[in-house]
Amino acid sequence: MTKQTLTACQYALIVTLGGFVFGLDAAIISGTIRYITAEFGLSDMELGTVVSAPSLGAIFGLFLAGKMADLFGRKKTLIIIAVVYLISALGSAFANNFTVLLLARFIGGLAFISISVTSMYIGEVSPPQLRGKLVSFNQLMMVIGLSGAYFISYGLVQSVAPGETEIWGLAIWRVMFATEILPVLIWAGLLFTIAESPRWLLMHGQREQAKQVIFSVNDPASAAAALEDMEANLASHKNELAEDKPLKLTFAPKYRKVLLLGIAIATAQGFTGMNAILFYAPVVFEQLGSGVHGAFEQTTYIGVCGFIFTLAAIFLVDKLGRRPLLIMGLAAILASHLLCWYGFSSASYEISQRTLDNVPVSMDASKLEPHIGKTFDSDIALKTLLAETYEHKDAKLIEGYVIESSVTMNATVILFGIFAFIGAFHFSIGPIMWVLISEISPNAIRSVAIPFFALTTSISSYLVQHLFPWQLNTIGAAGTFLMYGMFAAIPLLVVALFLPETKNKSIEDIEKTLVSEA
């Protein structure tokens, strides 16, 4: 490995630590759900609001991402983002009511633009032969962050007795949120050591600095050509950018194919439901009868599964290419959701003495005695009974214990479907979306196109997160998974028909292919 390759990898590793922070911040909420719901007495829609608040914040943040990245530079923008993450972590850990927690989570969402800015930065710093792996590494770091959040939550829950909500004299959910603080501080410090994007430097007339960066991350034989290509590309867009703003150019007819592909890929990442699994993981596994502690244990497997398949994608994305991985992954996602739909639609529930015995002593199981022997053909009917029998706070805490001891279902089929979905997502649309939007976005509209595609996936992710509790209690688990499966079908068709292979091509060459064919 050459010195230049090591430098490119070093820069990529540092900026993708933001992916780790993102994953930790995004998934740690999954461990807090049952506790904040009980403490603040949250309704389904209020819970959906606080869980989805970061995605809503990201939507607002993405309107500024491109302008900030162009005005301040990619490096300074990432440093600002790290500070915002820190404010969010502190606010979440010390929130004393629902409104403060909601605001802190929303502020954290403003920092979620780190994902699009990181993809932009790596795409502009990395040599073509490394770009796929290095951009995908961002997804790997996100998965490691997600895994860290799940293991932290599981470890904390295992440290307290069933029904207990405090550890070390603090509410357990506050400790969960506080674990984000140290990683954010480390990331912020390391960001000061990276170079600025050479494209940004050229755009601002700093040719010598840009040349130094390009020669530091490219082999000498290709560095001069890379600099020449960047300058030629920027020059070709100079008149275009002088006459039209990037926002207007983004929707020009010649970029229609770029927009179609970007929107299809971005919506697939959001609407196929991964964030419902990631952010509500313990709740999802409770629907299988895993119990509270069992559900937290199973969430740790999500991170392990995601890590393995993301690692596989990183090794294969520059060998097999983006197109085949994406097509295989979307097809597998569709099949996985249909399998989950079948499993949940076949489930039944019966209240028995075993159900009462499984409820922790701290909760009043006697209220269920009049219902012993009752059978329900859906999770919706059972949850309706609990809502009618208990106060909202108690119903949410007892739900997992009741489902665990009353459900009859083929949990193996559903578990296989869930983990097949997780694997397929992290093998394809998860990491490859960020690679592709970085590659297919032409230089003239990059500062708008990449945040726009990130905005699209943020909106779809926000809707999934916000509506999931309501969906689960309104159309049930079966209907929810069926809906997610259908959202994989259309992007699969668009990708199969219109996406060219982009591996080992420069951004300039990809632009020539897509724009000339548009």
Q: How confident is the model at residue 291 (pLDDT cuts 50, 70, 90)?
A: low
Q: Where are the alpha helices (DSSP H) in 281-428?
A: 281-286, 292-316, 322-345, 353-358, 379-389, 392-406, 411-427
Query: Confidence band (pLDDT; 50, 70, 90) for 200?
Result: confident
Calpha distance 429→433 (Å, rounded): 5
Choose the most confident range, by mean pLDDT, from 40-49, 98-107, 290-299: 98-107
pLDDT value at 518 more than 50:
no
Q: Give the pair of three-digit tokens for residue 187.
A: 């990331």
Closest CA to 125 of 207, 260, 42, 15: 15
Q: pLDDT tens for residues 354-413? A: 888 877 766 777 888 888 888 888 888 888 888 888 877 677 777 777 887 888 888 889
Residue 227 — φ and ψ, nearest 5°? -65, -45
pLDDT interval class at 237 (50, 70, 90)? low
Q: SS3 of 352, please?
A: coil
Tracing tokens 């196929």 back to the chain, one arrives at 272
The residue-averaged pLDDT of 485-505 equals 89
Q: pLDDT-derived band of residue 126, with 50, 70 and 90 as boundaries?
A: confident
Residue 342 reports pLDDT greater than 80: yes
Share of the chain above pLDDT 90, in %: 26
Q: Provide the token pair at 106.
A: 């929303």
Give dist(CA 87, CA 6) in Å, integer: 33
DSSP state, residue 369:
G
Q: What is the pLDDT of residue 188?
A: 95
pLDDT digits (tens, 9 = 90+) for 4-23: 888 888 898 999 999 899 88
State residue 292's pLDDT score.
66
pLDDT band at 82 (very low <50, low <70, confident <90, very high): very high
At 428-439, the pLDDT tens digits run 998 888 788 878
Q: What is the 3-state secondary structure (H, E, C) of 5-73?
A: HHHHHHHHHHHHHHHHHHHHHHHHHHHHHHHHHHHHCCCHHHHHHHHHHHHHHHHHHHHHHHHHHHHHC
* pLDDT surpassing 80 at residue 481: yes
